Amino acid sequence: MARKAGLGWIEWARGWLSIISEFLFQRIVASHVENPLPVPPMDGATCVVTGATSGIGLEIARQLAESGAHVVMAVRRPKLAHDLIQKWQSEKGDLGILLNIEVMELDLLSLESVVKFAEAFNARQAPLHAIINNAGIFSIGEPQKFSKDGYEEHMQVNHLAPALLSMLLVPSLLRGSPSRVINVNSVMHFVGFVDSEDMNLTSGKTKYCSMLGYSNSKLAQVKFSSMLHKRIPPEAGISVVCSSPGIVHTNVARDLPKIIVAAYHLIPYFIFNAQEGSRSTLFTASDPQVPEYCQVLKGDEWPTCAYLNYDCRPTNASEEAHNLETTQQVWDKTLELIGLPGDALEKLIAGEEVACRYQPKKASIDD
């Protein structure tokens, strides 16, 4: 059987129809969802939120903390995060509310940074109830860029680094069971295709553009999440979910050309603000029925993980996301790229140590 080389034109057309429909009708479809979304009490829950200093991540972190959760802001710029905490606390101080938020440094453009973060968190021997992989980039119009690890930046920040983080935090997620791995995704995955032999888009088979880099990385995220969902045994109590925020005006578009940014401001009716965009992820992190839904999908051997749309309702991921053959290929290749053995998940669930290629080298006695 020939290896699939890309989306068929019908899949591609359906994908763009999904994107255009979401843009035009998301506000109508989600009109029943309150803004801000009421979040139930989260006292006793610990949540790690990446990209928590701007946009959707900022709203997620703030609202979870205000609901009583212990929030860990995993960010590139710790000072900015501390300034935000001080601001939020001063706003709530008059009400006698003490927010339980802390900051840990994490740079998704460095897989070594991801390993350091996970090691530091796991060393606490504390439960983790949700890892919310929110941080992402979409550098429209920019030339192809690579991380210091050698990977295309969209693929690393939006897929590889969150995949490594989720895997390495499994010991803490087990301690927090029932717990959740939540990946903030995008409707753009509908026009993505992941060639596991060319995830860096350097073979020349497909001409690189930033939209291709972004959509492919978001599809890779869905596929890896689906295999993670499938391979985690039910008794582990870890639910894996993708959430789609809708089309949102946030700093993920900070690299857009100025004319497109201006257009964003001219059409505010169609585009969600960050608070509106945070609702589906907050729902995914807090609603008690989400783990039950994930177990139903697992029992039915559904080919993808749970995918919750911007209206806080379950929806289907793309047709290509349901392709089991390419999903297995993406899983295997992702583990290889992030430096984990093929049986890493099974070992982590069994409580065994797993070596990662990106672990920081320990200084020798001579050093």
List active site positions. 214
- Kindly list the distances between the CA atom of residue 108 and the CA atoms of 133, 204, 207, 351, in Å, as whole numbers in the listed order: 11, 26, 25, 25
Tell me how far apart the alpha carbons of residues 337 and 344 are, in angstroms, rounded to a whole number: 13
- Cβ-contact 60, 306 below 8 angstroms: no
Provide the angle, in degrees to the nearest 10, between the axes of the packed helices 290-299 and 210-231: 80
CA dihedral 323, 328, 333, 339 (to 10 degrees): 140
| Identity of the amino acid at 346 | E
Q: What's the per-residue H, E or C state across 207-226? A: CCCHHHHHHHHHHHHHHHHH
- Cβ-contact 193, 320 below 8 angstroms: yes
| DSSP E strands, the chain | 46-50, 70-75, 101-105, 130-133, 179-184, 238-243, 306-308
- Cβ-contact 188, 284 below 8 angstroms: no
How many residues appear in the chain? 367
**DSSP conformational letter for 360:** P
Report which of 67, 4, 344 is spatially closest to residue 198, judged by C-alpha positions. 4
- Kindly list the distances between the CA atom of residue 220 and the CA atoms of 161, 205, 314, in Å, as whole numbers in the listed order: 12, 18, 19
